[in-house]
């Protein structure tokens, strides 16, 4: 399936993947003056859409598929971008600058951007691979979850990653009895600190979610019951697992690209180890010029930014990734905003405000992260402090 009647056999820019990084790469290429054919190959059945609403607005029923497109159809026409859906890439050959598709077609390229993203992990227990156990990553996943929720009175969410917390609160808002089961004693305490984790627990309970913490799942039975490590069982009409993602590096591995930490290693301009091949988004292990090291990042906004940089690099006007990563998460009616290098801290200080709070993260006396609730001014200032490696006493608290 394609958005135009003409399917080129080669492209100046060939993008594999239609998530935020892939669309931003195509747009960034055009914005930087890139000429020639641009093709985006997508395994999805739907035109590119925003993923953050899937666990929130879309799941609650406050938005629909028509509301969450990344761009409207005229954008692709105006930007001369061929979007080909339901198309899978079988292999990439950097030496000949070609890709082979699952239908046997061969496409050539001048520059290829791999923006293949990540896929949700299945829980590695008996019954975890049951197709009736739901996942949440794509629009198709979300639509299936909504349909299941329409016919359910109760739900179990396994995993307290942010998408699990968001989905649990959203399901509860639909009137379901929701139980969130996690092996963490306090959700997000390791990443954000015990104080913040405790606040998230209170928010989930206020949203109507029951929590079972510090629990290991031993088995999922008939996609309706989970057996915990102590022998207890919890049952519900539907089970959603949210236990992290696996970067889709298969194409890159077979092509011989350098893989590090199970991701494609790229520099600050999104170049891989192969000439003419760039990569962006969740599938990458990118070098951040300001941090001076590679960072594991799985955030929507950063995928967009990396995609834009890949596009400008492909057009011959390279930028570099030097911004601090960050994300927003909405649990019920409460929103967290976070910006941080994300690879550790040794001190966290929480400042209370009448209208919210701010958590400041430091490593060796230097600000390395900020998290806010209803304190946008601290979020913006904090990001500046993080990127400037501001020391303790820079007015951060």
Domain residue limits, the chain: 10-118+246-314, 122-241, 344-387
CATH 3.50.50.60 for domain 122-241, yes or no, is yes
Which residues share a beta bridge with 336? 329
CA 166 to chain CA centroid, nearest Å = 13
SS3 string, 266-330, reads ECCCCECCCCCEEECCCCEEEEECCCCEECCCCCHHHHHHHHHHHHHHHCCCCCCCCCCCEEEEE
**238 and 225 in contact (C-beta within 8 Å)?**
no
CB atoms under 10 Å from CB of 67, counted, come to 12
Each residue's pLDDT expressed in tens, for the chain with a length of 397 residues: 455 445 678 999 999 999 999 999 999 999 999 999 999 999 999 999 999 999 999 999 999 999 999 999 899 999 999 999 999 999 999 999 999 999 999 999 999 999 999 999 999 999 999 999 999 999 999 999 999 999 999 999 999 999 999 999 999 999 999 999 999 999 999 999 999 999 999 999 999 999 999 999 999 999 999 999 988 999 999 999 999 999 999 999 999 999 999 999 999 999 999 999 999 999 999 999 999 999 999 999 999 999 999 999 999 999 999 999 999 999 999 999 999 999 999 999 999 999 899 999 999 999 999 999 999 999 999 999 999 986 655 444 5
Q: What are phi and psi of 351, to 5 degrees?
A: -100, 120
- CA distances in angstroms from 334 to 64, 207, 329, 377, listed in the order given: 21, 10, 8, 17
**299 and 325 in contact (C-beta within 8 Å)?**
yes
Considering the domain 10-118+246-314, what is its CATH architecture?
3-Layer(bba) Sandwich (3.50)
In angstroms, rounded to a whole number, what is the distance separating the alpha carbons of residues 211 and 181? 6
pTM metric for this prediction: 0.94
Are 10-118+246-314 and 122-241 in the same CATH fold?
A: yes
């Amino acid at each position: 399936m394609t958005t135009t009647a003409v399917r080129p056999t080669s492209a100046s820019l060939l993008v594999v993947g239609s998530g935020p990084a892939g669309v931003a790469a195509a747009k960034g290429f055009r914005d930087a003056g890139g000429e020639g054919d641009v093709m985006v190959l997508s395994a999805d059945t739907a035109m590119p859409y925003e993923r953050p609403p899937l666990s929130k607005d879309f799941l609650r029923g406050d938005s629909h598929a028509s509301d969450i497109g990344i761009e409207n159809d005229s954008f692709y026409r105006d930007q001369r971008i061929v979007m080909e859906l339901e198309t899978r890439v079988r292999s990439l050959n950097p030496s000949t600058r070609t890709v082979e598709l699952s239908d046997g077609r061969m496409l050539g390229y001048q520059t290829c951007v791999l923006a293949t993203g990540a896929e949700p992990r299945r829980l590695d227990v008996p019954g975890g691979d049951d197709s009736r156990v739901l996942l949440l990553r794509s629009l198709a996943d979300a639509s299936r979850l909504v349909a299941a929720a329409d016919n359910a009175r109760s739900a179990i969410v396994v995993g307290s990653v942010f998408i699990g917390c968001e989905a649990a609160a959203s399901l509860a808002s639909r009137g379901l009895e929701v139980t969130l089961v996690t092996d963490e004693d306090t959700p997000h305490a390791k990443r954000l600190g015990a104080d913040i984790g405790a606040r998230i627990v209170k928010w989930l309970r206020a949203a109507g979610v029951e929590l079972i913490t510090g629990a290991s799942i031993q088995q999922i039975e008939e996609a309706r019951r989970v057996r915990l490590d102590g022998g207890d069982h919890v049952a519900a009409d539907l089970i959603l697992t949210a236990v992290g993602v696996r970067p889709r590096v298969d194409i890159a591995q077979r092509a011989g690209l350098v893989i590090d930490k199970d991701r494609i290693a790229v520099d600050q301009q999104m170049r891989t180890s192969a000439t003419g091949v760039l990569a962006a988004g969740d599938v990458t292990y990118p070098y951040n010029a300001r941090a001076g090291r590679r960072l594991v990042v799985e955030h929507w906004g950063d995928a967009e930014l990396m995609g834009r940089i890949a596009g400008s690099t492909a057009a011959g006007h390279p930028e570099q990734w030097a911004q601090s990563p960050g994300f927003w998460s909405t649990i019920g009616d409460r929103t967290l905003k976070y910006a941080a290098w994300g690879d550790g801290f040794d001190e966290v200080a929480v400042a209370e405000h009448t209208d919210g709070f701010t958590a400041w993260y430091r490593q060796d006396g230097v600000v390395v992260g900020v998290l806010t609730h209803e304190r946008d001014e601290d979020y913006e200032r904090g990001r500046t402090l993080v990127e400037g490696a501001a020391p303790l006493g820079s007015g951060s608290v």
